[in-house]
């Protein structure tokens, strides 16, 4: 307990900070351990957000804290472009070996996911001598100018921010649940390449192997294979944005491991360094070497503290078997949600590989989205001490992103809260409908 009230902080925040940065809870953090957060008033929460998929290895994992502390005692910043250091090189070597794809690979370190995407596009442009990029509806790639331009959702990401970066095209992402099949998506892409955009001008096709902010929709394997074939046919590069899917979340270290084909360039951030700002692009060496020296980088990219944390993250994923654990926890969560389908007719779909799971809500017995229900579930869960996030192009999805290291007892407690919350939200919505009808 700090003696500070959440409500006071909310007031100060409103006065001091740009409205442009939204906040999803009114809870101000004081401390956090693994899957639990305590707020400034001493109330405990179970964290099923993980800082938006950042602490897959839990809050303050002792091995990460220890690794960062050891680095803190040695040096905190030299800028790798001025005075380089060994752990940066060693992490690149590890990522080059880990990231899916045959052959020699190289890496560049950056600070945020958006920056990783920006740099992947720069590398693709330098390597191909072409400028156009194809991305997908519902995709999310960050809030910088190129990141926002590539993002396939206008509100709140693009609205009011003027002209987008040029030479970006969006094809529909396949979501069979919404009536967009893989075939329909590929046909629309083909149409773009026939009516709008010369394939010989396309540097890259960029996508998330499982859409994150867009709603946790996995790219169907046949779709990914078709994109790979289109890229190979026309000399385009395939970029996998693994910023949200990476580092054991989907039950494999990278979501692309669920596919038979590999990307040419992979973007990473979020859980790479367990809460320290670090991002990377890893890809085929010949492509990664296309930009001239000085064309890539940044003052903080590959900060030594973040690099030290990332080494610990990779060790933990391996030593604690987090890919297997993600599969186990995800299976339990999905089973629990399945058991509620009959009692909660708003549940339209339960999905997601590994522990990257989501539940989508429609109006009962209809295919119309039910964003109010998703929002009610999120708010009621918070009242019961469970932090959940919504997502989705229709805002009708709850996503579950707990640390993969969550203890069984805490996980089971969260499952009970989810069940109670879904049942109570259904009862409340039914009550509202009945009142409206009477
Ligand atoms: N790509 C994807 C797939 C993401 O989920 C995000 C963040 N939600 C980003 C890029 C941008 O990352 P950052 O917020 O670190 O810039």
Measured in Å, residue 200 CA sits from the centre of ligand 1 at: 29
pLDDT at 204: 99
The full length of the chain comes to: 438
Residue 123: which H helix or E strand, with range? Answer: helix 113-128
CB 37 within 8 A of CB 47: yes
275, 299, 204, 283: which is closest to 242 by C-alpha? Answer: 283
- What integer pLDDT is reported at residue 6 of this predicted model? 96
Q: Give the per-residue pLDDT at 435.
A: 81
Give the pTM.
0.98
C-alpha 94/C-alpha 273 separation (Å) is: 13
Residue range 291-316: average pLDDT?
97
- Distance (angstroms) between ligand 1 centre and the Cα of 213 equals 9
Which protein residue's CA is at the shortest distance from atom 12 of ligand 1?
A: 113
Asked if 271 and 249 count as a contact pair (C-beta separation under 8 A), the reply is yes
The answer on pLDDT for 437 being more than 80 is no
pLDDT in tens, 38-55: 999 999 999 999 999 999
Cβ atoms of residues 258 and 221 within 8 Å: yes
Question: Which of 22, 50, 55, 141, when mutated, tests ligand 1's pocket best, judged by the most ligand atoms within 8 Å of its CB?
Answer: 141
pLDDT tens by residue, 116-158: 999 999 999 999 999 999 999 999 999 999 999 999 999 999 9
pLDDT of residue 325: 98
**Residue 27 DSSP label:** P
Ligand 1 centroid from CA 364, angstroms: 33
pLDDT of residue 288: 98
Q: 145 CA distance to ligand 1 centroid (A)? A: 13
For 201-246, write each residue's pLDDT tens digit.
Answer: 999 999 999 999 999 999 999 999 999 999 999 999 999 999 999 9
Element housing 382 (H / E): helix 371-383
CA of 409 to the centre of ligand 1 (A): 31
- Which is nearest to 316 in space by CA: 375, 272, 380? 272
CA 304–ligand 1 middle distance (angstroms): 21
| Mean pLDDT across the chain | 97
Q: What pLDDT sits at residue 219?
A: 98
Query: How far away, in angstroms, is 400 Cα from ligand 1 center?
Result: 17
Handedness of CA 336, 338, 343, 346 (dihedral sign): positive
Q: Given this model, what pLDDT does residue 370 score?
A: 98
The most distant pair of C-alpha atoms in the chain lies apart, rounded to whole Å, by 73
Locate the ligand 1 atom nearest the alpha carbon of residue 114 and give its number: 16
Is residue 84 scored above 80 in pLDDT?
yes
The predicted model gives 175-199 an average pLDDT of 98
DSSP 20: T
Quote the percentage of the chain above a pLDDT of 70: 100
Tell me the CA–centroid distance for residue 427 and ligand 1, in Å: 35
| Distance separating alpha carbons of residues 437 and 83, to the nearest angstrom | 71
**Closest ligand 1 atom to Cα of 139:** 3
- Asked whether the bond before 94 is cis by omega within 30 degrees of 0, the reply is no
**Contact by Cβ (8 Å): 420, 72:** no
Q: Ligand 1 pocket check: which of 121, 156, 212, 239 to mutate, most ligand atoms within 8 Å of Cβ? A: 212
What lines the ligand 1 site, CB under 6 Å?
Answer: 52, 112-114, 117, 140-142, 208, 212-213, 241, 243-244, 269
How confident is residue 1, by pLDDT bands cut at 50, 70 and 90? low
Ligand 1 atom with the shortest distance to the CA of 245: 3
Q: CA dist 400 to 202, 219, 329, 383, Å?
A: 35, 18, 11, 17
Pocket test for ligand 1, best of 22, 56, 114 (most atoms within 8 A of CB): 114
Domains identified in the chain and CATH numbers: 6-60+321-437 (3.90.1150.10), 75-319 (3.40.640.10)
Q: Within 10 Å of residue 74's Cβ, how many Cβ atoms?
A: 10
Q: Which atom of ligand 1 is nearest to the CA of 52?
A: 8
Measure the CA–CA gap between 385 and 135, rounded to whole angstroms. Answer: 37
Q: Report the separation in Å between the CA atom of 243 and the middle of ligand 1, taken as the mean of its atom positions.
A: 6
Atom of ligand 1 nearest to the CA of 115: 16
């Amino acid at each position: 307990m700090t003696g500070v009230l959440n409500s006071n902080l909310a007031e100060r925040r409103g006065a001091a900070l740009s409205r442009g940065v939204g906040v999803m809870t009114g809870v101000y953090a004081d401390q956090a351990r693994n899957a639990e957060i305590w707020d400034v008033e001493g109330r405990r929460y179970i964290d099923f957000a993980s800082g938006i998929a950042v602490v897959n290895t839990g809050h303050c994992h002792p091995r990460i804290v220890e690794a960062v502390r050891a680095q803190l005692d040695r040096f905190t910043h030299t800028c790798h472009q001025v005075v380089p250091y060994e752990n940066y090189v060693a992490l690149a070597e590890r990522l080059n070996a880990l990231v899916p794809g045959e052959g020699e690979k190289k890496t560049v370190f950056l600070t945020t996911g958006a920056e990783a995407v920006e740099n992947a596009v720069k590398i693709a442009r330098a390597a191909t001598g072409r400028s156009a990029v194809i991305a997908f509806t519902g995709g999310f790639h960050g809030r910088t100018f190129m990141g926002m331009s590539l993002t396939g959702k206008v509100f709140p990401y693009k609205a009011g921010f003027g002209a987008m970066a040029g030479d970006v095209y969006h094809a529909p992402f396949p979501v069979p649940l919404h009536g967009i099949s893989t075939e329909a998506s590929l046909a629309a892409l083909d149409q773009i390449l026939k009516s709008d955009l010369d394939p010989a001008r396309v540097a890259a096709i960029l996508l998330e192997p499982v859409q994150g902010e867009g709603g946790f929709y996995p790219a169907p394997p046949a779709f990914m294979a078709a994109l790979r074939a289109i890229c190979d046919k026309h000399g385009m590069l395939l970029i996998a944005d693994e910023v949200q899917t990476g580092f054991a979340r989907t039950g494999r270290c990278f979501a692309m491991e669920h596919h038979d084909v590999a990307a040419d360039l992979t973007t990473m951030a979020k859980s790479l360094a367990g809460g320290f700002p670090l991002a990377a692009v890893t890809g085929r060496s010949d492509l990664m070497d296309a930009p001239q020296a000085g064309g890539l980088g940044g003052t903080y990219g590959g900060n030594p503290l973040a690099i030290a944390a990332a080494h610990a993250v990779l060790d933990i994923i391996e030593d604690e078997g987090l890919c297997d654990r993600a599969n186990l926890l995800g299976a339990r969560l999905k089973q629990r949600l399945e058991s509620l389908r009959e009692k909660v007719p708003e549940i339209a779909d339960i999905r997601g590989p590994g522990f990257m799971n989501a539940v989508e809500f429609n109006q009962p017995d209809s295919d119309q989205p039910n964003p109010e229900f998703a929002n009610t579930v999120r708010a009621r869960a918070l009242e019961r001490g469970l932090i959940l996030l919504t997502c989705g192009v229709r805002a009708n999805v709850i996503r579950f992103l707990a640390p993969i290291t969550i203890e069984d007892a805490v996980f089971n407690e969260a499952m009970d809260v989810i069940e109670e919350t879904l049942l109570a939200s259904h009862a409340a919505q039914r009550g509202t409908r009945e009142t409206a009808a009477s």
